[in-house]
Amino acid sequence: MNTPALNENITPRFGAIYRREAWYEFLRMLRTPSFALPTLIFPGAFYLMFGVLLAGRSGNAEVSRYMLATYGVFGVMAPALFGIGVSLAIDRERGFLTLKRVLPMPAGAYLFAKLAMAMLFGLIVALMVMVLAATLGGVELRASQWATLLMIDTIGTLPFCALGLWIGSLLSGQAAPAVVNLVYLPMAFLSGLWLPLKILPAAIGMLAPVWPSFHLAQLALKVVGQDAGGSTLIHVGALMAMTALFCGLAWRRLSRPS
């Protein structure tokens, strides 16, 4: 007879479950080199190349600041889109999501873990770009500006998490990485993350407000005084609306009665 050890807590603490769930999701992705290496290294490496080396040669400090803002945004998009989109597609395909759903896990813990994982990766990537900017890039900002930028990047992960959820709820584990790449890279370019919209064809600039990354980049650029002058409220509102839309689509898809 397996008498359970006497236990004063009748129910396991939800907080502990959420925390463990998030930590193991982070570990799981950190140990997946095909995800962790590009996610953690590319934004910093690109910033070093375009924001520090090339900009330094042209002697333009403005470029280093512009790219600090935009490569931070570029950096936090990847863990959300790849980390959530691809892992959710795989979890669905491999029956792991079904198992999670029938285990006595509080309903929100699975989702929370994915969001927390993406935000933690986003935080790390944003910090790396900032450290490179402050040291090698010679970017000088007030402490409050650094802090605001870090906050925008980390919280700004959420709309891309929502988009990742939607993609992951639709596609197979095989198709998801390809589709994420098709979304991620063009969206980064078309939002002015690599080159300022000013120097790109006007049509791209007109289309830009369609992309969540444009709005997040504008918020980040505002901190370093290089945004296009749009209202903060509109950018925040657009991001919140897109988050809600993608979450809703993902929710509808995942809760489809089977």
Partner 1 sequence: MKSASARVLPPPILASLSGVYKKFGKIAALDGIDLQVRAGELLAVLGRNGAGKTTAINLLLGALRSDSGTVEVLGGKPTELAVRQRIGVMLQSTELPETLKVGELLEQVRGYYPSPRSSAECIVLAGLDGLLDRRYGKLSGGQQRRVQFALAICGNPQLLFLDEPTTGLDIDARQGLWKSVRELVAGGSAVLLTTHYLEEAEALADRVAVMANGRVIAEGDIAEIRRRVIQQRVRCITSQSESTIADWADVSATRSVDGRIEIMTSTPEAIVRRLLAGDDRLSELEVGRAGLADAFVELTAEEPA
Binding positions for partner 1, rule: CB under 8 A: 1-2, 4-5, 7, 9-12, 16-17, 20-21, 24, 27-29, 31-32, 94-96, 98-99, 101-106, 257-258
What count of Cα atoms within 13 Å lies in the side-chain half-sphere of residue 125? 35
Q: Smallest distance, Å, CB 173 to partner 1?
A: 10
Q: Which is nearer to partner 1, 116 or 239 (CB)?
A: 116
Task: Find all residues with CB under 8 Å of 90, minimum gap 6, and list them.
Answer: 96, 173, 176
DSSP reduced 3-state for 98: helix
Q: Smallest distance, Å, CB 9 to partner 1?
A: 7
Helix or strand (DSSP H, E) at 27: helix 14-30
Give yes or no for a contact between 29 and 36, defined as CB atoms under 8 angstroms apart: yes
Q: Which is nearer to partner 1, 154 or 169 (CB)?
A: 169
Q: Which is nearer to partner 1, 8 or 233 (CB)?
A: 8
Q: Smallest distance, Å, CB 13 to partner 1?
A: 9
Q: Smallest distance, Å, CB 102 to partner 1?
A: 4
Q: Which is nearer to partner 1, 174 or 232 (CB)?
A: 174
Nearest to 183 by CA among 153, 207, 213: 213
Q: Smallest distance, Å, CB 222 to partner 1?
A: 38
Q: Smallest distance, Å, CB 162 to partner 1?
A: 22
Per-residue CA distances from 52 to 46, 47, 63, 137, 222 (Å): 9, 6, 8, 5, 20
Q: Which is nearer to partner 1, 4 or 59 (CB)?
A: 4
Per-residue CA distances from 211 to 90, 183, 195 (Å): 26, 10, 15
Q: Which is nearer to partner 1, 103 or 233 (CB)?
A: 103
248-251: list long-range contacts, CB under 8 Å, 24+ apart: 249/166, 249/169, 250/162, 250/165, 250/166, 250/168, 250/169
